[in-house]
Each structure stands twice: as C-alpha cells, then as structure tokens.
Amino acid sequence: MGSEAGKDKKMEHRKFETIRDARKRQNGTDPLGANSEIARKLKQYYDDIVSEKIPDRFTSLLSQLEEREGPSSTTEKD
C-alpha cells in the first residue's frame, strides 16, 4: 500500500511541475511558446507571403540603383 501512496505523490508532483512549467513559459523565457498553435499559425501566415515570387519592380529597382551608383561611390570604400 505504501507504493500506492508513493505513486499518488509522484503524480501530484508531476502535475505541479506541469503547471509551473506552463507559467514559466508564459511569464519568463519563452512568452510565445515555439510549439503553440499561435506560433504555428504565425509562421504559416508569414511564410505564405515570403514564398511569393519577388515582384519585378524590386529587381528592376535594384538594377536602376546599381546603374545610378550610390551617392558615395562604392569604389571609394576600398
């Protein structure tokens, strides 16, 4: 019977740990919780936009800027 009581105590201890861990996650080091539902959706939302093809306007803008050559010429740096 002694082992039964020990088991209960162990369970209780584990439950306590879980609550404490959850609280720690919310207040302390990791407020987002990397594996939470919110974190997953957030990633999905963001990566959806990231994976879009880069609009042509940006590649041509960068080419234009390069042709224009910056105000402080990049060759000056060396």
Partner 1 sequence: MAAANGFREGLLEAVPTLRAFAVSLSKNADRADDLVQETLVKAWDKQASFQPGTNLKAWLFTILRNEFYSQMRKRKREVEDVDGSMTARLSVHPSQDGSSDLADFRKALALLPEDQREAIILIGASGFSYEEAAEICGCAVGTIKSRVSRARARLQEILAIEGEGDFGPDAISTQVTNSAALA
Which residues contact partner 1 by CB under 8 A? Answer: 26-27, 31-33, 36-39, 41-52, 54-55, 57-59, 61-62, 65-66, 70-72, 74-75, 77-78
Tokens of 75: 């060759």
> Cα-flanking dihedrals φ and ψ of residue 41, to 5°?
-65, -40
Closer to partner 1 by CB, 18 or 26: give it: 26
Burial readout 10-19 (b: 16 or more C-beta within 10 A, e: otherwise): eeeeeeeeee
Shortest distance in whole angstroms from residue 35 CB to partner 1? 11
* Of residues 11 and 61, the one with the C-beta less far from partner 1: 61
Q: Which is closer to partner 1, CB of 10 or CB of 36? A: 36
Q: The tokens of 64 are what?
A: 């234009």
